[in-house]
Amino acid sequence: MKKLLLLCIPIIMISPFLLTGCGGGSDTQAAKDGDTVSVHYTGTFEDGTQFDSSYGKSPLTFVIGSGQMIAGFDNAVRGMTVGEIKTITIPPEEAYGEYRPELVVVIDLDEFPEGTKPAIGQQVPIQNNAGQQFMARIVKIGTSSVTVDANHELAGKSLIFEIELVSITPGGQ
């Protein structure tokens, strides 16, 4: 019986190290709210057309949960670990919202400042009935009017992102 007890002691003493990876704890840190993260990403539409990518440039850096990113992107990065790559589809409601036809407005050409030559795709400031100013994109030019669209150009679209987490700086550091 004494021999059996002596054989068990070394196993009991070693087992905590085996459970923790030799006592050092885990080096894997999951990204969480308040952390500053850097990611590389490629964004595509459902048909495979690429609309943006950070590859070949500096990684995108932001604070998770700060409102700097669309909700679906924030949610996708939360819980990732450095080196992890994932592909996610973000529906319009977690991206740039649904397309709203009421944000397409026809403006008389004479409302533009004199000497201004409107062009398709040009961003122009417009004002709503409450007096708030925001940017709209010219989408059509007629003989006496211009049609502008205040929807984000990605509104109403599902977005597919491949995201690679490059680094995490814990919040408060």
30-80 pLDDT, tens digit per residue, is 999 999 999 999 999 999 999 999 999 999 999 999 999 999 999 999 999
Name the pairing type of β-strands 133-141 and 104-108: unpaired
What confidence score (pLDDT) does residue 20 get? Answer: 39
Show Cβ contacts of residue 3 under 8 Å, excluding neighbours closer than 6 positions: none
Which residue reads 């502008």 in tokens?
A: 148
Q: For the structural domain made of 30-97+155-169, what CATH number should be given? A: 3.10.50.40
CA distance 154 to 166: 26
What confidence score (pLDDT) does residue 116 get? Answer: 84
Q: pLDDT tens digits, residue range 92-102?
A: 999 999 999 99
The answer to whether residue 91 scores a pLDDT higher than 80 is yes
What confidence score (pLDDT) does residue 17 get? Answer: 38
| Mean pLDDT of the 15-43 span | 71
What confidence score (pLDDT) does residue 173 get? Answer: 60
Q: pLDDT tens digits, residue range 101-160?
A: 999 999 999 888 888 889 999 999 988 888 889 899 999 999 999 999 999 999 999 999
pTM summary value: 0.74
The answer to whether residue 5 scores a pLDDT higher than 90 is no
Q: What is the DSSP secondary-structure string of 7-52?
A: HHHHHHHHHHHHHHTTTT-----B--TT-EEEEEEEEE-TTS-EEE
Q: Where in the chain is the domain with CATH 3.10.50.40?
A: 30-97+155-169
Quick one: fold of 101-149?
Thrombin, subunit H (2.40.10)
Q: Where in the chain is the domain with CATH 2.40.10.330?
A: 101-149
